């Protein structure tokens, strides 16, 4: 295979294309986890939550079918490690939920807004990236590594090979791995689909239904891209591995750590050891996909901060998102879509913590008002 069509090239450009479509759809459908939670808390309206859950269900079904038929090896993902860093997941998820609420949106939503002309969201993303980088390699990272990450549960001591719910079920019930996988994925996704489509108003909203399905499928395609197309022999080291991912294993969409890597490569562009990765390509793809949709529909509008107080609270939220997203190993997309699609116990813990943090902050905002 020629250098121009190497697996790394396919992964980077494929990631960009998938994210471009993701950004356009997210802009068109107003896909936003924080907004969905806010609709429920403030208006008891479950429409956008159903949209979010449908994307999760589609991603879950598609991802596990790829695993079942041997197209990808989900056990290699960061989400399915044997060690369960429960304290990091809970603390990080809760702080991310708080941060995205006071910053008026998660990392994905702010990328979509930047594409629509929001300078305010651009500032939020820059500070999220700085905070995330500090949590990966800087001062915040020292705190994380010293006080949070060491508090884990070693599932191997219980005879479980990873933290996937199918593996836990197989261990407890004695079922075969394949049977446990189908049973777990089938029961969870079926319950979600019943809840989603029991609402007549949501069923009639074709744009939201199709948009959710497309977003879920894009998560699945990202897993296939990095886990199948991007898996092979490195011509330089002759080792078998995954190409063009920051984690050096298969990845799907996640937007906190990749914002940090994007900022890093911009600052160190002339460093020949730096390369565009799948995560960096998806950050750019979301932004440009949203921009393209905004321009085509004449919705592009410049937007700034309402006041200095608005700026202050947004920056606090950005810092909390950066720290929380890295500590919890993902954001509302990284854990809430990609992570949960692997059926990892830790991803469900992180997602629940994000929701708790967001709801608590919204309740506090209502009380304060």
pLDDT digits (tens, 9 = 90+) for 226-239: 999 999 987 777 68
According to DSSP, the residues that pair with 83 across neighbouring strands are: 154
CA-to-CA separations, 339 to 164, 220, 266, in angstroms, rounded: 10, 11, 27
pLDDT above 70: residue 197: yes
Question: Rounded mean pLDDT of the chain?
Answer: 95
Q: How far is CA 215 from the centre of its chain?
A: 12
Each residue of 308-344: pLDDT tens digit? 999 999 999 999 999 999 999 999 999 999 999 999 9
Q: What is the pLDDT of residue 369?
A: 82
Total number of domains in the chain: 1
- Reported for 366-369, long-range contacts at CB under 8 A and 24+ positions apart, including other chains, are 366/41, 366/42
Each residue of 287-315: pLDDT tens digit? 999 999 999 999 999 999 989 999 999 99
Percentage of the chain lying above the pLDDT 70 cut: 99
- What mean pLDDT do residues 183-192 have? 97
Q: What is the pLDDT of residue 246?
A: 95
Q: What is the pLDDT of residue 1?
A: 39
Q: Which residues of 243-273 are buried (b: 16+ CB within 10 A; e: fewer)?
A: bbbbbebbbbbbbbbbbbbbbbeeeeeeeee
Nearest Cα to Cα of residue 110 among 260, 290, 325 = 290
Q: What is the pLDDT of residue 239?
A: 81
pLDDT above 60: residue 2: no
Q: What is the pLDDT of residue 5?
A: 73
Each residue of 61-112: pLDDT tens digit? 999 999 999 999 999 999 999 999 999 999 999 999 999 999 999 999 999 9
Each residue of 260-283: pLDDT tens digit? 999 999 999 999 889 999 999 999
Which residue range forms the structural domain that includes residue 130? Answer: 3-368
Cβ atoms of 107 and 22 within 8 Å: the answer is no
- HSE at residue 212, side-chain half, CA atoms within 13 A, is 24
Residue 231 has φ and ψ, to the nearest 5°, of -110, 125
Q: Which residues of 17-43 are buried (b: 16+ CB within 10 A; e: fewer)?
A: bbbbbbbbbbbbbebbbbbbbbbbbee
Cβ atoms of 324 and 93 within 8 Å: the answer is yes
């Amino acid at each position: 295979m020629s250098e121009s069509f190497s697996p790394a090239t396919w992964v980077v450009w494929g990631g960009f294309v998938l994210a471009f479509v993701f950004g356009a759809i997210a802009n068109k459908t107003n896909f936003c986890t924080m907004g969905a939670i806010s609709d429920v808390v403030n208006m008891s309206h479950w429409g956008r939550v159903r949209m979010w859950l449908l994307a999760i269900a589609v991603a879950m079904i598609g991802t596990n079918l790829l695993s079942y038929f041997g197209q990808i090896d989900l056990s290699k993902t960061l989400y399915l490690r044997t060690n369960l860093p429960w304290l990091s997941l809970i603390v990080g998820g809760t702080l991310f939920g708080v941060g995205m609420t006071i910053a008026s949106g998660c990392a994905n939503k702010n990328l979509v807004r930047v594409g629509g002309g929001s300078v305010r969201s651009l500032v939020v993303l820059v500070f999220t990236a700085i905070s995330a980088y500090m949590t990966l390699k800087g001062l915040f990272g020292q705190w994380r590594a010293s006080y949070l990450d060491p508090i884990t549960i070693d599932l191997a001591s219980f005879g479980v090979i990873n933290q996937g719910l199918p593996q836990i079920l197989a261990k407890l019930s004695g079922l075969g791995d394949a049977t446990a996988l189908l049973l777990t994925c089938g029961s969870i996704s079926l319950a979600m689909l019943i809840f989603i489509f029991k609402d007549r108003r949501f069923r009639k909203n074709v744009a939201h239904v199709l948009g959710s399905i497309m977003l879920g499928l894009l998560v699945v395609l990202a897993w296939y891209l990095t886990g199948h197309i991007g898996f092979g022999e490195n011509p330089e080291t002759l080792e078998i591995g995954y190409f063009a991912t920051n984690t050096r294993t298969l990845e799907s969409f996640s937007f906190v750590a990749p914002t940090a890597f994007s900022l890093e490569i911009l600052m160190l562009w002339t460093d020949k050891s730096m390369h565009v990765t799948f995560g960096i390509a998806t950050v750019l793809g979301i932004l440009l996909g949203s921009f393209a949709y905004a321009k085509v529909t004449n919705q592009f509008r410049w937007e700034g901060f309402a006041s200095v107080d608005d700026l202050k609270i947004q920056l606090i939220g950005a810092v909390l998102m950066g720290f929380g997203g890295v500590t919890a190993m993902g954001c509302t997309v990284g854990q809430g879509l990609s992570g949960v699609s692997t059926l990892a116990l830790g991803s469900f813990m992180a997602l629940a913590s994000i929701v708790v943090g967001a709801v608590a902050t919204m309740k506090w905002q209502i009380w304060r008002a």
